[in-house]
Structure 1
Amino acid sequence: MTSRIPAGDSTVDPGTRRMLARFAPMIYGPTMLFGLGEGALLPLLPVIATSLGADIAQAALIAGAVVAARMLGNLPAGWLVARIGERRAMAIAGCLALAGGIAVLLAPTLLLLAAAVVLIGLSAAVFGLARHAFMTTRVPLHYRARALSVLGGAFRLGMFTGPFAAAGLLALTGTETAAAWCFIAALAMLVALVLFGRDPEEQLRSEGLLPTAARAGAERRPRSDGVLRTMWRNRGLLARVGLPAASLAAVRQARISLLPLWGVSIGLPGEVIALVVGLTGALEFALFYTSGQIMDRFGRLWAALPAMVLMGGAFLGLALTHDLTHATGWFVVAAVVVGIGNGLSSGILMTLGADLAPPEDPAPFLGSWRTLHDAGGASAPLIVAAVAAAWSLPAATAVIGVIGLLGAAGFTVWVPRLVPHRR
């Protein structure tokens, strides 16, 4: 189905371990810290908003502003990274997010809190795109999927531990602004690592492992065609591979709301729902490196297709079990399958974007790519809410399942034709 990419042993061999370790101080560490900060702050944003007088709708709007700002920030982020370079963009994004965290801590009104949240979302877009572009041009191709899967795993680890850190600080201080302090501390460490951590490019260049595109444009930035021109020139590519990617992002995002809603709808207590959702999270984290190994050894489709079939099929099957006698058992089975599918998809969107981006100047293309799949993710809660309101929760679950299977078909058709594996 796809071209096989040579990649050594299936275990983490010493060469792979050394390659990944080179990116730990400047890329993986900051990524985990950004995830930890967001994981600590985002769940408590509605609580902070209500403490400033927001009603439920306003609190939800402020909490959702991070996602909207991240999506809207991808295109200008592509422009910025193409002009000032990845490391500078990451440092600037970290400083702006740090300022946003301080503003959340000190905001006296809802309007200023909303502005701080938007700033954090825009900073997240710049940081995410800059690290993606950095890895695209610095990681040798036969390590790419594993390196980007570890990047996704680092962020997931941060997002997983962030709420626990916030809960511990909240128990110690008794105030929800402890989450903002956690975010500030994490971003301060992030900025220090980005500015003072050893640049892996130096070591890769000395060992002759730096990809050609990075060697050619090491300190001199290539002339960029601009984000909009790049988007127009690659419109066919973005439409063909980008739409299945957006469907994957939609299914991923839908699981966050669908699984708890389904548990509530079949009458499960909160602690059981939390346990099942936690189990899916553990499976997702456990499989992130396996995803990279599969992509590097056998091709991108062998991770994307099983992931989409598993998640789409699980949601479609779950939609048929709501009123069955063993609905709880089917819910657990579906949640486990979704967790396995999402774990197998770890890093796939970043890897496909890196494969498709022009190697000499990836940032403008990646801005368009990330906007497209972020839009897919942002649309998922709206689809679930609209279909559930118009028909039922099982109908909404079935729609998400169908989106997943359509995305699988799209990947099957277009990935073998359009995704290059050798340069």
Structure 2
Amino acid sequence: MNNRWIALAVLCLGVFQFTLNWFCVVPAFPAIAHEYGLSIPQVAALVAAFVGGYGICHLPAGWLSARFGMRCALLIGIALEACASLSGALVSSYPAMLVTRLIAGAGGACCLGAVVGLVSAWFRDRELSFAMGLTTGVAFALGAATGLFLWSMVVTAVGWHTAIVIAGFIGFGVLLLAWIAPIVPRAAAATLDGGHLDTRAVRRVLCNGALWWWGLSIVGSYGSFFTLAQFLPIYAERVLRFSPTEGGRLSALLLLSGIPAAMLGGWLSDRFGRIKLLICGAFVVSGIVTVMLPRLDGGSLHLAAAAIGLITMIGLTPWFSVPAMYPDRIPLHDVPAASGLMLSLAAVGGFAVPLGFGRIVASYGFDAGLPYLGIVSIAFTAFGLIAPTPSRRRGIVGHIQTDAA
């Protein structure tokens, strides 16, 4: 078996544990709210805390990869997130839990940035988006759906504290596997093993206008998607009188529908290009469906959740591949930092959108909060329309000969 597919499998597990340890707290929200006496805005702050740490640390995580190597950054990220999950289950106060979610988000930033860089190193341009879809799409969605749906059963069976501890230990298991597996191609070791952080590298990333425009294009969609994934069950339970299991199934449907969509989006991107149309079109259509959510009954809500997950992920997969599509501007060792800049901007939405949603729902109800999510999704997509279109030419790693087993 080719080493790049072995590496890809390990990197997929790294992303799986990342989103599992992100979303495994969501089924515990009712128990956490009861234990600490929390309101909806305070529960929303737990969501925002993770994304805040995630967003703040994306750029530092990218530069950590440039300085010490992508493998090192990946291991640090997994370790941080696993430790933070364990700590979050053991603390005895709401402020302390907020801190653990912030640290977990920082670990997630290190993990995801390194994964994007390593996938870019292993795969050539015609396979890049498909491989990126398997990691940032399929593995991402599986981990999130496991945390949202399966972990609701775990929380019910063993309690929320033990359930989060189990997720943390899964992270440690993946850490051990990443430690021993060949996740760095030998031919690119000199590029990926660090020693590339200097002022020129910082300027190459921060002064790249394309990265800013593409990062801003997803602020609304990114924040709205993950707000929906975590609050759609609460809406369904409180307004439509769904059971907790039925509500959890909605979020699982939203995320699991992204699995075929991630592979489809990657294939379409690699095969036909049209990156701008694919990304911006998907975000606008998913925003329109989100605006319509309060008008839907229970059966239609399931279809809408699947549609939002499917359409959003079709656009999100090529979006993750964008830094590797500018070979003349972004060398391989800058890819994690370039991805980090885009994800930092996206995380602004992940932080601000759920906070705004929580306040709107508290004041005006879900009938106002859900359309708000769709409107901000559509509005920020305009930045993608003015971004320069990525090249379909051979990617930055086209010259690297990958290792064979």
TM-score interval for Structure 1 and Structure 2 normalised by the shorter chain: 0.7 to 0.9
Counterpart amino acid of residue 156 in structure 1: A
Q: CA deviation at 1:62?
A: 4.2
1:61-76 equivalences under 5 Å are: 61-62=45-46, 64-76=48-60
The normalised TM-score by structure 2 is 0.81
How far, CA to CA, are the matches of 2:252 and 2:219 in structure 1? 25
Query: Would the aligned equivalents of 1:40 and 1:166 in 2 still touch at CA under 8 Å?
Result: yes
Unaligned runs of 5+ in 2: 396-405
In the alignment, which residue of structure 2 is the partner of 1:233? 207
Superposed displacement of residue 68, structure 1: 1.5
Distance 1:30 1:350 in 2: 16
Q: Tell me which residue corresponds to 2:183.
A: 199
Give the C-alpha shift of residue 188 in structure 1.
Answer: 1.3
Which residue identity is paired with 1:303? Answer: L
Q: Give me the whole-angstrom Cα distance separating, in 1, the residues matched to 2:115 and 2:232.
A: 31
- What corresponds to 1:77 in structure 2? 61
Corresponding residue for residue 400 of structure 2: none
User: Could you say if the C-alpha distance between residues 179 and 112 of structure 1 is closer, same or farther in structure 2, counting changes exceeding 3 Å?
Assistant: same
- How far residue 143 of structure 1 moved from its aligned partner, in angstroms, is 1.0
Unaligned runs of 5+ in 1: 1-16, 206-213
d(CA) in 1 for partners of 2:234, 2:37: 24
Q: Do 1:29 and 1:154's aligned partners in 2 also have CA atoms closer than 8 Å?
A: yes
Q: Distance in 2 between matches of 1:344 and 1:358?
A: 24
Aligned equivalent of 1:298: 272
Amino acid at match of 1:310: V
The 3 A distance-change label for structure 1 pair 166 and 313 is closer
- Indicate if the aligned counterparts of 1:308 and 1:407 stay in contact, CA closer than 8 A: no
CA RMSD in angstroms, aligned pairs only: 3.3
1:332 and 1:162 map into 2 onto residues whose CA distance is 19
Give how far 1:369 is off.
Answer: 1.3
Q: Deviations over 1:117-167 (max 9, x none)?
A: 322221111111121222233321211100110002112112212345544
The equivalences for 1:324-335 within 5 A come to 327-328=297-298, 331-335=301-305
Q: 1: CA distance between counterparts of 2:12 and 2:163?
A: 22
Moved more, 78-87 or 246-255: 246-255
- Aligned letter for 1:340? L
1:46 Cα deviation from its structure 2 partner: 6.5
The answer to whether structure 1 residue 378 and structure 2 residue 351 are counterparts is yes
Give the AA of the match of 1:143.
Answer: E
- CA–CA distance in structure 2, aligned partners of residues 192 and 49 of structure 1: 34
Match of residue 365 from structure 1: 338
Provide the residue aligned with 1:140 in structure 2: 124
Partners of 1:72 and 1:272 in 2: CA distance: 34
Count of matched residue positions in the alignment of Structure 1 and Structure 2: 387
Report the equivalent of 2:399: none
- Distance (whole Å) between structure 2 residues aligned to residue 78 and residue 50 of structure 1: 38
Larger Rg over CA atoms: 1
> How far apart are the structure 2 equivalents of 1:294 and 1:122?
32
Q: Which amino acid aligns with 1:117?
A: R
User: Are 1:131 and 2:115 an aligned pair?
Assistant: yes
Equivalent-residue separation in structure 2 for 1:199 and 1:222 (angstroms) = 19
Matched residue, 1:86 = 70
Listed as ranges, the matches of 1:88-237 within 5 Å are 88-152=72-136, 153-163=138-148, 166-170=151-155, 172=157, 174-202=158-186, 205=187, 214=188, 217-219=191-193, 221-225=195-199, 229-234=203-208, 236-237=209-210
User: AA paired with 1:382?
Assistant: L
- Map of 2:392 onto structure 1: 421
Q: Does residue 302 of structure 2 align to residue 315 of structure 1?
A: no
1:252 Cα deviation from its structure 2 partner:
1.9
Which amino acid letter does the alignment assign opposite residue 359 of structure 1?
P
Q: Provide the C-alpha distance between the structure 1 equivalents of 2:26 and 2:299, rounded to a whole number of angstroms.
A: 31
Superposition TM-score, scaled by structure 1 size: 0.78
Cα distance per residue 1:345-393 (max 9 Å; x no partner): 3423311233347124223322221100111222222343455566664
CA contact (8 A) 2:204 2:330 kept: no
Q: CA 1:374–1:190 in 2, change beyond 3 Å: closer, same or farther?
A: same
Residue 8 (structure 2) pairs with residue 24 (structure 1): yes
* Paired residue secondary structure (2:195): coil
Kept after mapping to 2: 8 A contact 1:54/1:110: no
Q: Which runs of 4+ in 1 moved over 6 A?
A: none
Structure 1 counterpart of 2:314: 344
Match of 1:404 in 2: 377
Equivalent in 248, 260, 280 of residue 221 of structure 2: 248
Q: Write out per-residue CA displacement over residues 268-309 of structure 1, whole angstroms, 9 at most, x where no aligned residue.
A: 534655554443333222322111101111112353134123
